[in-house]
Structure 1
């Protein structure tokens, strides 16, 4: 490369050459890249940092730069269509009253044994609710 080389040009050249290396294989040292491309050490450092930011290489201080392993494909987004029913909204944001028949689900759920407080409903058990204190406070109000 000539004196007008930039970080972008060096990064592009290194990007094209990455397929020569297998994942995890060490790239040439910064000193070797400086000599080969006739650029400053700062240019090499910035070009490697750019490739690292793109996930193409991994740099380890004192060890060098290595070709990164291929990224795993992200898991597909989960099905959130149930939220439309739960939140009673259609796709446009308009509130639409909806009903859900949960009788089949309710039949399949076993009743808790006697003495077990069911906490799955999101509300405290009736024995834990201060009904008398609430009635007294409402009477005073």
Structure 2
């Protein structure tokens, strides 16, 4: 079964029609859109909200809906410097071969002395867990 959505249909029609308006140009009023497309005011407001979410339209309460400025898509490059350091095993960037110092890891695996609560694992000490309250 194919379901049609009047909100999606109206949003598509308005999206196609936006090229007729200059940036900052005012779109027809909600009342005019209701009459032109024979839909309810709720459908108009939901379709406009969808276009606002897409960044195509800006609404100003009491003033109307306007065509928004096109968004500039700026692809932010992720910070991969830590990966380059951690994963580079070749001699191209680091002439010395990598040596791993495991003393820090081994120290966290040791059982802490009596009276010391180890917080490095991220879990509460069994004596601090509210097991009764959670039960």
Give TM class, smaller chain.
Answer: 0.5 to 0.7
2:34 aligned with 1:34: yes
1:59 Cα offset (Å)? 1.1
2:14 aligned with 1:19: no
| Corresponding residue number in structure 2 for 1:84 | 83
Residue by residue, what CA displacement relative to the aligned partner does 1:71-90 show, whole Å, maximum 9, x if unpaired?
1121441563x42343x324
In the comparison of the two structures, how many residue pairs are matched? 91
**TM-score normalised to the size of structure 1?**
0.55
| Corresponding residue number in structure 2 for 1:9 | 9
Q: Secondary structure at the match of 2:59?
A: strand
Decide whether the 8 Å contact of 1:27 with 1:66 is kept in 2.
yes
Which structure 2 residue ranges, 5 or more long, are not aligned?
96-135
| Corresponding residue number in structure 1 for 2:45 | 45
The 2-side partners of 1:85 and 1:57 are apart by 42
Decide whether the 8 Å contact of 1:5 with 1:39 is kept in 2.
no
1:46-125 to structure 2, matched below 5 A, reads 46-77=46-77, 80=80, 82-86=81-85, 88-90=86-88, 96=89, 100=94
| Corresponding residue number in structure 1 for 2:119 | none
**Structure 1 outlier segments of 4+, above 3 Å:** 96-101
1:9 Cα offset (Å)? 0.8
CA 89–48 in structure 1, closer or farther in 2 if over 3 Å, else same = same
Q: Secondary structure at the match of 1:65?
A: strand
The 2-side partners of 1:85 and 1:46 are apart by 46
| Corresponding residue number in structure 2 for 1:104 | none
